[in-house]
Structure 1
C-alpha cells in the first residue's frame, strides 16, 4: 500500500495467530482419530473438497477485488481533495485583492481574510475526518480481537480528541457553535465558506468572475465529500461478506478429512519402494500421515488470511493498517496551504507522526 507499512511475515503471523491455533486444532483432531484410534472411515474423497477450494478461491478473489476497489476509490478521492485544496488556496491568494474594492484594505487585513478562509477549509477537513471515523454497525475492527489488539497500540486523533477540541482555533466561537449544532458539520463549514465569499464579492474584494471560479471549487469539494460519505455509509453487501466467511470455514473444516488418506497413501508408497526399509524409512512412511496437519494449517491460513484482508479493506476509514491515512493527509494539506498564503511557520502544526510504522 502507498500509505502503510508492508507487513513482515512475522507481523502477519502475529495478526492471524489466534486463527492459526484454531487451524491446528481442527486439523489435529481428525488426524489423531485416523491414526491413533484407527478410524479409517472418517476420510473424505479429495476431489469434491478440491472443487470447493477452487470455487472458494474465485469467491474470495471477487471480494478482495471489490474491497480493494473501495479502498482505492477512497484514496483517489482524498487525492482530489489534495489538488482542490491547493487550487482553492491559490485563488484565495490571487483573487482576494483591492483591484476592484470599494474600500481599500491593507495587506495585513487581506492576509487575515485569506487565513480565515484557509483555516475554515481545514475545519471542513477536520469535520469530514471525524464523520468518516465514526463507527458503523457493519465495521468489524471493534469486534475482531486481532484488530482490537492492534488498535490498542495506537491513538487515532479522531478518537482521542473530540471534534469540538480539534476545531479550536480554526473557527470563531460563533461559527463553531453553528457547525457543532448541525447534523452534517462538514457541509456547514462549506456553507460558511460560501457565505463569506459572497460577502467579499459584494465588497468588490473578489471580482465577480473570480467568485464564480472559487464557487466552482466549493461545489467540487461537495462532490468529493459526497463520494467519501457514500463509501462510508454504504457497506460492502453483508450477504456476500457473511457467506464468504461461512464458505471459508466450511472448507477449512473439510480440508483435513480430505487429505488424511492422501498423505497416508504417500507414506505407504514410500514403504513399498523399499524391500527391506530401514527404521528411519519406516518412521517416515508410517508417520507421513501426520504431515497432513501442517499442510492443512498452511492451506487454511492462506484462504482465511485472504478473506481477512478483504474484510479489513472493506471500510477504508476505520484506522486499520491498510486504510486510507486521512489524518496524515489532512495535516499534510494544512501545512501546504498555510505555507502557500505565507502564514507564520511557528503557527503551522507539524506532520502527524507514524505509530507502529503506520500513518494514521
Structure 2
C-alpha cells in the first residue's frame, strides 16, 4: 500500500504507457489525415459519450474500492479479536506451569494462524512462517487444503482439552469460542473477496468502452484543437485510462502489489502484540520501502 502523501504519477504512467503511446500515434494519424484529406468526419457528441463513460467507470471504481475497504475492515477486526483472544487465554488459565504452557502455545498458534492466512490470501506457501513460529516439527495442518483453518481447528481442540482438565469453565469457553467464530467469519469474508472476482461485465465492458472512446476522441476534437489534437486528446485519454487502471488495482486487495493491503505489516503488528503478551520480543515493525508498505 502506498503511504506517501502524494500520488505516484510515474507508476500510473508506467501501467498505462503502452496504451497512451498507441493513443498518441493514433491521434497524430487522425490529425494528419484531417489536414491532407478532403474528407471531414461528422461532429461527434463527445460530451454525451464522455459522460456515459465516466458513469460506467465511476460504478466500477466504487465497486473495486468497496472490496478493498471491506478487506481492510476484516483485517482490522482480526487485529482486535487477536488481542482479545490472547488476553482471555493468558488471563483466565490457572497459574500453573502446565496451564501457562498451554496458554503460551495457544497464543503462538494464533500468531502462526494469521501469518498462514496472509500467505493463503497472497497465494504463497505458509509453511516457512508456521515452522518459524511453531518449530520445525511435523504440522498436520500444513497438509490440509486450508492450513489456516486447520490451525484454528487445532486451537479449538486444545481449548476443549483445557475444559476437560478443569482449567476453564464452560462460560469462559463460550466466550473464547465466540472469538474463534469471529476469526472464522473474518477469514471467510476475506476468502469470499479473494475467490469472487468482479462480474465479467464489470471487467470487460469498461475496457471496451474506454478504448472505443479513446479512438473516437481525436476524431471529435480535431476540428476544434487542430494541430494540438495529439496532445489534448492524449491527455484526456490518459485521464480515462488512469481511472480504468484504478479499478484494476483495487479489485484484489489481498494481492502483492503496491496498491494492495499491507498484510505483512498487519500480521507483524499482531505478532508483536501477542509476543509481548507472552514475554517474547516483538519483531521489528515493517517499514515502508520507497513509500510502499507491504
Deviation at 1:340, TM superposition (A): 2.2
Whether the aligned pair in 1 keeps the contact of 2:254 and 2:263 (CA below 8 Å) is yes
Gaps of 5+ in 1: 99-104, 135-157, 264-288
**Structure 1 residues 141-160: aligned runs within 5 Å:** 158=124
* Aligned 1:334-349 pairs, distance under 5 A: 334-341=271-278, 343-345=279-281, 348-349=282-283
Please give the TM-score of this superposition, normalised by the length of structure 2.
0.94
CA shift digits 1:155-209 (9 cap, x unpaired)? xxx4xxx322121132355661x11111111110100000001111111122221
Question: Alpha-carbon deviations, 1:293-341, whole Å to 9, x = none?
Answer: 1110011000111011011111111122221111110011110121123
* Number of the residue aligned with 1:244: 206
Tell me the distance in 1 between the aligned counterparts of 2:40 and 2:143.
65
From the superposition, tell whether residues 224 and 70 of structure 1 become closer, same or farther in structure 2 (CA, over 3 Å): same
d(CA) in 2 for partners of 1:19, 1:295: 15
- Pairwise CA distance, 1:42: 4.4
Q: Equivalent residue for 2:142?
A: 180
**Whole-angstrom distance in 2 between the partners of 1:191 and 1:344:** 25
Q: Deviations along 1:4-60, whole A, 9 cap, x unmatched?
A: 33423344334433332122112111101112xx2242433132x321111100000
Q: Name the CA shift for 1:52/1:40 in 2 (closer, same or farther; >3 Å).
A: farther
TM-score w.r.t. the length of structure 1 is 0.77
Aligned position for 2:240 = 303
Residue correspondences, number: 293
Indicate the residue corresponding to 1:39 in structure 2.
37
**Are 2:126 and 1:163 equivalent residues in the alignment?**
yes
For 1:354 and 1:297, locate their aligned partners in 2 and report how far apart those are by CA, in whole Å. 33
Question: Does the alignment pair 1:292 with 2:229?
Answer: yes
CA distance in 1, matches of 2:214, 2:40: 16
Q: 1:240-275: CA deviations, max 9, x gaps?
A: 211110010000001001111122xxxxxxxxxxxx
* Whole-angstrom distance in 2 between the partners of 1:44 and 1:339: 71
The answer to whether the 8 Å contact 1:4/1:322 transfers is: no
Q: How does 1:1-360 map to 2 (within 5 A)?
A: 4-5=3-4, 6-35=6-35, 38-47=36-45, 49-98=46-95, 105-106=96-97, 109-134=98-123, 158=124, 162-171=125-134, 176=139, 178-263=140-225, 289-341=226-278, 343-345=279-281, 348-360=282-294
Aligned-pair distance for 1:230? 0.4
Unaligned runs of 5+ in 2: none
RMSD: 1.8
Matched residue, 1:285: none
Conserved in 1, the CA contact under 8 Å of 2:131 and 2:137?
no
